[in-house]
Chains A and B, each alone.
Chain A
């Protein structure tokens, strides 16, 4: 099946000044986003996430490589008809009221007046902005502006949604609203491409995740596989563990991490009972336990550190 978006060997270098060294933002990125999937792009600051988005939207031209939209080269398509974009810091026309902004959006997207009115009503109610339609955007809080920008991006019901940090600046209620909205878009079969630093959101929403570091896509994996790989992993907290004891437990343990107030033993659930018996035999008491919920974060850190090495 033809991917919705495909990047093949995309490189991009920015000139930062006349006498300054250019910055290599992307180094041969190969990436494919399938139709109807939610693809999350994660990476540290400056890794090239926003540049990737701008290349997809045609706001910048790659130095080499190509971007394809539904199999056609980006320059030969009209991706704007199909895409809804939310930038990281959306600067909207703050002299306009929200209803004026949405009218402008509808007219530029070629929406009929009735359709635009129904769509904007739905979105405004959904994002709790229906009380603020007559207010100039300059009076909006950051979270309200973020939600207004989401309305602006989604008004024409795009089939491809590109979000750059959609939860940025939102309070927990706003975050949940956006989270539910993205989930709904996903259920309606929209293709969603988004970047976020909030890894828990990425993990919960995405079907696939790409890891970007220093302009290189260092890993791509299915979230399902990620969940399966961590299934049954448990951390047990203990006070101490001698070298001999540690050696005797080595076949059962997956890892030992030193913390400020003790040790964290990582073990698969299948080996948990055996470990508990062994610890009891050794006279070591278990202080506490927790399931591993930070796998994506750990994986992210490991991959980034591995990439740096």
Chain B
């Protein structure tokens, strides 16, 4: 555990000291600032738009953090052969993978938490200005929704670690991780579309495509599971079973990816 934490600590520092963080931070502030400006255009839906935009800003910032900073934290070690130095220390390969992942998680958590605080200030400020339009808004729902944005980004970080371990360059890892994110975000809608079009005679989709999508839906991450925007925006009651299942899905998915990464990493050679 000590070794995992030692690795996590230097990975966390590397993330924080990365220059890309400033760019992503500025971008996030811009999105959040834009939210204050844009929200006023949707008087009746100002509450919903504010919550939606804040959670989306968190999600985009998390995506950028994982793709442009988190992903490099593991790929750079392999590209620059720093890993050869680290693995000749008494660190097992599973400790390396878990240490790196925990470090990325710590970094993403701190970055998203800061953005979440700012986002809370934005929502709080707008709810005071447009008091009448935030009547359904519940803070606890907003916090849960933001927490599940973090869970989603954690799954994405595990995907980035997995591709970082199997790919030969950081660029390939970036492409694969981004594709996984797109698939994860759209998978639910595609499956829904397929199911609804199955009963319709207007759209003809081949059986092969349906089978491929059915198999993919079991393997690829389904990020819609972590989407609590509607509940947060309208203050709908959160179903404990849905919250529990989503959390369990996220944790199990992360664990499976890390175990698979370790399994592959054990067999990898470092020339």
Contacts and interface: CB of A to CB of B under 8 A. Distances in A.
Interface of A: 14, 51, 54, 57, 59-61, 78, 80-81, 83-85, 87, 89-93, 95-96, 100, 104-105, 107-110, 149, 152
Contacts of B87: 57, 59, 80
B90 A110 contact: yes
Contact of A92 (B2, B7, B18, B85): B85
A44 to B, nearest CB: 19
B116 to A, nearest CB: 25
5 contacts: A78-B90, A91-B82, A96-B13, A108-B3, A149-B85
Nearest to B91: A108
A61, A96, A105, A107, most chain B CB atoms within 10 A: A107
A120 to B, nearest CB: 15
Nearest to A138: B17
Interface in B69-118: 80-82, 84-91
A14 B269 CA distance: 11
B97 to A, nearest CB: 14
The 6 closest A-B pairs by CB, nearest first: A107-B6, A85-B88, A91-B80, A80-B90, A60-B269, A95-B17
A150 B227 CA distance: 50
A57, A90, A100, A104, most chain B CB atoms within 10 A: A104
Contact of B10 (A87, A100, A109, A149): A100
A203 B139 CA distance: 74
B167 to A, nearest CB: 15
B18, B81, B84, B91, most chain A CB atoms within 10 A: B84
B58 to A, nearest CB: 26
Contacts of A84: 88
A92 B10 contact: no
A104 B87 CA distance: 13
Contact of A14 (B7, B81, B89, B271): B271
A59 B89 contact: no
B80 to A, nearest CB: 4
A107 B88 contact: no
B82 A93 contact: yes
A86 to B, nearest CB: 9
B88 A57 contact: yes
A93 B89 contact: no
B122 interface: no
A87 B81 contact: yes
Contact of B91 (A60, A80, A83): A80
Contact of B2 (A60, A80, A85, A107): A107
Contacts of A152: 85
Contacts of B3: 107-108
A83 B85 CA distance: 11
Contacts of A80: 87-91
Contacts of A83: 88
B85 A61 contact: no
B9 interface: yes
A100 B7 CA distance: 12
A10 to B, nearest CB: 14
Contact of A90 (B13, B85, B91, B269): B85
Contacts of B84: 54, 57, 59, 85, 87
A43 B36 CA distance: 67
B89 A109 contact: yes
B10 A104 contact: yes
B6 A104 contact: yes
A81 B81 contact: no
A118 B174 CA distance: 43
